[in-house]
Amino acid sequence: MSPGPRERPDRHPAWRFATPSVLLLSGLLFGVSAQTSDGTDLRSGRFTDMASVVEAESRTTTELTERVARLNTEIEELSAEIGDTSVQRAQDRVADLADPAGLTPVTGPAFQVTLDDATPEAREVYEGDPNDLVVHQQDIQATVNAMWRAGAEAVTIQGQRIISTTGIKCEGSTVTLHGVPYAPPYVIVGIGNPSEIALSVALDEDLEIYREYTTIPTGGVSYAVEDLAEATAPAYDGLLDLTWAQPVDG
């Protein structure tokens, strides 16, 4: 009887166990990476170019704004075709509120207030608190509020239309309005009766304190007023969405 074929000897028995273990470990690593990334790219290099990120977000904002404008136009056209009186009443209400909301331009006589920091020379020799020699956001806010109290139809700061949701924020040596930083001098214009606005500004207690710092002997902050025969407050063209803080779970 001829001998049967010999079986090939297993010279690497450890691979029988090592290979499945490696495959299992690789699978676990892929699973953990997928769960951690939650569908995003874990490579941080994509987010290091902040200028590109800002530019991309700006383009997205512009595209969405244009889309909103197109959709609003379509809504108006479709509403006109329907001829629903309730829709027309709603549109008339929106039109009535557009002006007080600051969404239409306003032109008329005005009163102007200009606030400015002390000169660099004055700041160098001043021995008191350096904050005494700069314009603060509360000084700008006091001026705007005084104009509103006098019945101003519209108010602008640096030519930007101020609306009910406008935030005036002091950031370093600049003031930010609607996300745009501005350096002094700060020009605030209230469109309305110049005499009434001037009186309201003159009697404002916060501005009275500000004016005291204009008299610092070595040179203080600057304060100037002017009647304008005519000025125009442009329509507010920024975003109207409101955002607010959200509580964190736990």
> What is the per-residue pLDDT for 126?
94
Distance, C-alpha 171 to centroid of its chain: 13
pLDDT at 38 > cutoff 60 = no
Average pLDDT over residues 7-30: 49
The reply to whether 3 falls in a domain is no
Residues 229 and 128 in one domain: yes
- The CA distance from 177 to 168, in Å, is 6
What is the count of structural domains for the chain? 2
Average pLDDT over residues 36-46: 46
Helices (H) and strands (E) in the chain, counts: 7, 8
- The CA distance from 200 to 238, in Å, is 29
pLDDT band (50, 70, 90) for residue 67: confident
Q: 188 φ, ψ to 5°? A: -115, 125
pTM (two decimals):
0.60
Half-sphere exposure (Cβ direction) of 178: Cα atoms closer than 13 Å: 17
The reply to whether 184 falls in a domain is yes
Residues 76 and 118 in one domain: no
More confident residue, 66 or 56: 66
The reply to whether 112 falls in a domain is yes
- The CA distance from 130 to 124, in Å, is 9
Kindly report the CATH number assigned to the domain that includes residue 135: 3.30.70.1880
**Residue type, position 94, single letter:** V
Residue 70: domain span: 53-98
Average pLDDT over residues 218-222: 95
The reply to whether 60 falls in a domain is yes
3-state DSSP call for residue 188?
A: strand
The reply to whether 165 falls in a domain is yes
More confident residue, 178 or 191: 191
Q: Across-strand partners of 228?
A: 110
